[in-house]
A and B are shown apart, each in its own frame.
Chain A
Amino acid sequence: MSLSSIANQVLELTRKVAQELSFAEPGRDSGLLPINSFVAEIEEISANNPLPAPLPAAIQQARRLVDRVFDTTALFDASTLASLERWASWMEGALLGVQEGREMPALPSFSEEGPGASRPTASKDHRSVPPPQSGFGRILALVQSIAQELASAEVGSDAGLLPVNSFVYEIEELSEKIDLPGNLDRAVFLARRWMDQILDTVAVFEEPALNQLREWTAWMDAALEQAEQGHSLPPLPLGWALDAAEARPDVFPQIASLAQQLALELAFAEPGKDAGLLPVNNFVLQMEDLGQKGEIPGVLTQALRTARQWLDRIFETTAAFDQTALTRFSEWASWVEKTCEHCRSGYEPQPLPEAWGAREASGSSVPSPAHAPVPPAPAAASAPISPVPAATAVEPAGRSFSQQSAIEPPLELNLEGDDRDLIQGFISESYEHLQNIEQGVLVLEENPTDAATLNSIFRAFHTFKGGAGCVNLTPIKDLAHELESVLDAARQHKLHITTEIINVILEGGDTLGKFVEQIAARLAGKHLEVPICIPTLHLVHRAQSILGHGSPSASEVVPVAQAANPGPEPLGGSPAAASAATSAPPSAAAPVAPPQPATRANPASSGAAPAVAAGFVKVDTIKLDALIDLVGELVISESMVVQDPELRALPSRNLARNLGQLHRITSELQRTAMSLRMVPIRATFQKMTRLVRDLSAKQHKQVQLVMSGEDTELDRNIVEEIGDPLVHMIRNAADHGIENAEARVAKGKSATGTIYLRAFHQGGNIVIQIEDDGNGLNKDRLLAKARERGLVKPNETLPDKDIYELIFAAGFSTAEVISDISGRGVGMDVVRQNIEKLRGKVEIQTVPGEGTTFTIYLPLTLAIIDGMIVSVGGQRYIIPTLSVRESFRPKPEMISSVHERGEMVNVRGRLSPLLRLYQYLEQAPKVTDPAEAIIVVVESGQQTRCLMVDELLGKQEVVIKSLGGALKKNHALAGGAVLGDGRVGLILNVDALVKLSGNAGPASQANLGHVPQSETTKSM
């Protein structure tokens, strides 16, 4: 066969290739197989017939191009197509030349990997404009550009960072197109990660990163060269993989070898012995570590977890292998080894043998937790709640009791056996009902047709009746029944709600409250011998008469008290007065507890808006406090763990992450726990509504109470404690503040006086404001009274503010007429004491003739104070920041002494006594010279003291804890706090310290705290 005809054959095949190529598209495989077979045919021809020089090489190149397509995606890509096209056209030209006997053209490189592919010379000129090649060659050029940039990059500077980044980016893009072989792909991925790390953090080159990148360029260079020549790729340097914590391809051999070692270890293990157990455990641990470093398939993770479970169980139980465990582990080891190989070679890993899970459950000697006896589920809450009769049928009005004798039915209380629990349940529920009744009635007063409120009161009485009937409390049941009937009639629009009805209901509620109070006292074991006798008949009769007549008139059965009440007041007789008058006769000995609002005991649950049916749980406050204590302790333990120096030294990122998570959870838990203590002030405020209503009736004044901020939340303890002071102040406002209607009208004010009761937040405090639009405080009268009592010297003048403060003095009252409401002069001093006990303060603003505002500032919670931590003689003490005025290191000339004993510090011209805290605290101080110590200036009232301490350690919020009954009497200590390291720091009571040192007098100050004389003299 002549060369010409051979060339013709090849030419035809080449044209066919070119034809196929014209239909081929990147990303598709259409045409690939024909091209492959044409190239194969050409190869065959070339193998059998000698072709002129560059032609065989060209054919080889075509083969390589096609093979590469098969080796990778088996789809064409743009660069390969371009190369093949170029090849085809060159071949055509060359073959035509052969036929015409022309010179053979030089063989160009059709692909970037062609042997003749010219590498860009590593000169600076080329660096930023790599020649437009494709594939490996282009990557190589980019790598070299990076190397160039890195050569001029400097540690600590970002010069070159962005070019390098963009080159890496280009390489990445390329690598996506041409699918680099394993390790190269990996290396590109690593480079991207490093760059991301650099850019995300310091954004400048740093020593290790720079070295690593340089190493990378060298490796890439070599690897690309190897790849080009078809050699196998060099392995990735180990350091890279570990650094990146991304050793996917590498973990499998390691895990496999560990599994082998484990199997070896098992060969020596014997049932019933622990030989080999620790090494096995160790291997599993290592595998787990590897598993965390690299990405391993789910089954392998599962397998590791299974092994861990087995091991844990062995350790928990016998700490020795048994036969099952041994077989299991050797099966496991071989499975892991096989799976690793599979993963490595890219096969789908086998699923986890099911037998493992099954055998796990039936493991002979290894108890499985699944078989552990499940503790019986706690029986459904069996609260001793008296069942409520479902029937709502109401007997026809007033039949059952009309025939009853006029003798008050006694209340028979059976506190034995099961009844006790039932009664307990009844009582604890009834507080809520009572409150619903009271609140509802007050709403009815405003809006007598409010159906929802009528229903809620009706339901409350109904439940009351049911509960009482259940525990045989007949008088309660009867009374509740009658009131319920009245309400039912009103509900069905048979009756119009009138003042009389409201009064009956209110009094009925009060009476029921008294019963509840008395029964609660009996339950608590008090007054057991005294029968409970609270008159109910008059109320029953009144209710019956209301129903009987169906008329709002109440004139017939008006109780004595109301008759005695002078004046045609629209609101009728005060219920309190009425019941006080009527309860006297039958048994004078019956101890009627002070009319404490029944609702007080339960502010937490009653604070919830009654309409909301959302789930509320009543929790014992002791449990709640215990929970909060424990959470506080948890937070301290957590900070001890997190701040542990040994743990901090560990370089584990995982640990850091987990600790961070722990911290977040504990803080959240603490916040939630603290919020559990917070209850809305609503319940306390609502009691004031009732109070104002009663007061205005009694005083013949028209007073309305306007409230806002009832939902403001306060610490439970504060809500409980603030009630009494508020009652005092509201009383004062109604009694002294608000004028009677005529006087108001004469002054041009509206006849109805208004008391505003507000609660709101203000800068970390809760503020409660009581404002009245009454007469204001009378400055002259206050002053006159104070002079009369000798509180103020006759010719002494006081600033206005101090005059108003006089009302807080003990036994001070300017009321001309002492009423039974206020004016006895006990009150405001107690109010202030109570508020100060809550670490709050109270301020007065008043405008004569226009009104008075009392503003109470309270801390958010009683449990936490902001404290300054100081050290004295190695111990830490906490001074409440509230009483710290300043702190400084004094100059020697600031200290002066009296009789060489009493020392004073000159603080900007004001002398204040120096109190050497270490003497009182019985500590050996670090320094005894005030000029070397720190002075903390504290104030209590008008007095200041300079406390001398060794050091200031910082400011911190601390949870106040009681020092316990034994140490309560130590007045100079306000309590203790658990500090960050778990030790106790004592909280100093500044008021007591000031008082103590004041009483001792400057001269005998050294004796304060019974300091041994020797130490005193030494320190002076």
Chain B
Amino acid sequence: MARLAGKYLTFVLGHECYGVPVLKVREIIRICDITPVPQMPDYIKGVLNLRGKIIPVADLRLKFHLDHIENTKLTCIVVVQVILGDQSVTPIGLIVDAVEEVVNILESDIEPPPDFGTLLHTDHILGMAKVKGTVKTLLDIDRVVSAVHSETSVIAAHAPR
């Protein structure tokens, strides 16, 4: 749990609150035309054109097996810069219900991820932060996405860790 304190961008999925390290976030864009890509898990919504660069877009709701909802005015895409297994850095868009704010989270406010046993894997969670009376799940976005990647691979090897 070393050095988890810092600034996090928090966003909402359903009634839950999540945070990603703000240094990972490249930009936040409005929901826009996404070109579907065939032969992908359903939470990979497709690709979009980010100023000439084509980046994949994942729906975090579907990724975390939450119910699908229609896009609202607040729905947006958080573009994060992730490090893949082979150390390459790539941008990926994450569809979230709404972006909240950037909060500074102190080390003392962070608790290790709870152990749900087999009910729920928590290895993509950095920790749980208590901010102003609410609990926010801090995501290890690299792992969330590397799981995305390994699942899309044709060979479909076991997800790392």
Contacts and interface: CB of A to CB of B under 8 A. Distances in A.
A569 interface: no
Given A975-B54, A1010-B39, 19 more contacts: A629-B53, A633-B51, A633-B52, A875-B35, A875-B36, A965-B90, A967-B44, A967-B56, A970-B37, A970-B40, A970-B152, A970-B154, A972-B38, A972-B39, A973-B37, A976-B47, A978-B54, A984-B49, A986-B37
B73 to A, nearest CB: 21
Given A976-B35, A985-B35, A965 B49 contact: no
Interface in B96-145: 145
B40 to A, nearest CB: 7
Nearest to B155: A969
12 contacts: A630-B52, A633-B51, A875-B35, A922-B38, A967-B37, A969-B154, A970-B40, A970-B154, A976-B47, A976-B54, A978-B52, A984-B49
A962 B39 contact: no
A986 B35 contact: yes
Given A963-B56, A969-B152, A630 B51 contact: yes
Contacts of B22: none
Given A630-B52, A961-B53, A984-B54, A966 B35 contact: no
A966 B154 contact: no
A920 interface: yes
A630 B47 CA distance: 18
A185 B5 CA distance: 82
Interface in A924-980: 961-967, 969-973, 975-976, 978
Contacts of B51: 629-630, 633
A707 B92 CA distance: 47
B147 to A, nearest CB: 11
Nearest to A970: B39
Name the residue in B39, B48, B90, B148 with the highest tally of chain A Cβ atoms < 10 Å from its Cβ.
B39
A964 B39 contact: no
Contacts of A892: none
A1009 B153 CA distance: 14
Contact of A963 (B47, B148, B149): B47
Given A970-B39, A972-B38, A986-B37, A964 B52 contact: no
Given A965-B84, A966-B152, A983 B54 contact: no
A632 interface: yes
A982 interface: yes
Contacts, number: 92
A519 B79 CA distance: 38
A921 interface: yes
Contacts of A636: 52
A983 B33 contact: yes
B54 A963 contact: yes
Contacts of A963: 37, 47, 54, 56
Interface in B43-82: 44, 46-49, 51-56
Contacts of B90: 964-966
Contact of A984 (B35, B44, B153, B154): B35
A965 B36 contact: no
A964 B91 contact: yes
Nearest to A876: B35
B154 A964 contact: no
Contacts of B49: 978, 982-984
Per DSSP, chain A at the interface is mixed
Contacts of B44: 966-967
Interface of B: 33, 35-40, 44, 46-49, 51-56, 84, 88, 90-92, 145, 148-149, 152-155
A308 B152 CA distance: 57
Contacts of A975: 54
Contacts of A921: 38
Contacts of B55: 964
A398 to B, nearest CB: 50
Per DSSP, chain B at the interface is mixed
B52 A984 contact: no
A922 B48 CA distance: 18
Interface in A764-800: none
Interface residues of A, number: 32
A969 to B, nearest CB: 5
A629 B48 CA distance: 15
Contacts of A966: 44, 56, 90, 92, 145, 148-149, 152
Nearest to A628: B52
A818 to B, nearest CB: 36
A961 B56 CA distance: 12
Interface string A996-1020: 0000000000000110000000000
Nearest to B47: A984
Nearest to B51: A633
Contacts of A969: 152-155
A306 to B, nearest CB: 37
A630 B153 CA distance: 30
A603 B44 CA distance: 39
Given A970-B40, A982-B49, A965 B88 contact: yes
A126 B85 CA distance: 96
Nearest to B39: A970
A590 B133 CA distance: 60
B153 to A, nearest CB: 5
Nearest to B48: A984
A962 B54 contact: yes
A984 B33 CA distance: 9
A507 to B, nearest CB: 38
Contacts of B148: 966
A875 B34 CA distance: 10
A963 B47 CA distance: 7
Given A962-B54, A964-B90, A964-B91, A1009 B40 contact: no
A978 B55 CA distance: 11
Contacts of B52: 629-630, 632-633, 636, 961, 978
4 A-B pairs with the lowest CB-CB distances in the bound complex, closest first? A633-B52, A984-B35, A966-B56, A965-B90
B84 A922 contact: no
A972 to B, nearest CB: 7
A964 B50 CA distance: 12
Nearest to B37: A967
Contacts of A986: 35, 37, 47
Nearest to B91: A964
Nearest to A1011: B38
Given A962-B54, A978-B49, A967 B35 contact: no
Contacts of A965: 84, 88, 90, 149
A971 to B, nearest CB: 7
A964 B39 CA distance: 15
A901 B149 CA distance: 34
A686 to B, nearest CB: 33
A983 B52 CA distance: 10
Name the residue in B35, B56, B91, B154 with the highest tally of chain A Cβ atoms < 10 Å from its Cβ.
B35
Name the residue in A630, A962, A967, A1010 with the highest tally of chain B Cβ atoms < 10 Å from its Cβ.
A967
A971 B37 CA distance: 12
Contacts of B33: 982-983
A987 B54 CA distance: 12
A970 B88 CA distance: 18
B39 A961 contact: no
Contacts of B53: 629, 961
A967 B40 contact: yes
B38 A961 contact: no
A962 B52 CA distance: 11
B46 to A, nearest CB: 8
Nearest to A634: B52
Contacts of A633: 51-52
Contacts of A970: 37-40, 152, 154
Interface in A616-637: 629-630, 632-633, 636
Nearest to B55: A964
A244 to B, nearest CB: 44
A967 B47 contact: yes
Contacts of B54: 961-964, 975-976, 978, 984
Interface in A253-303: none
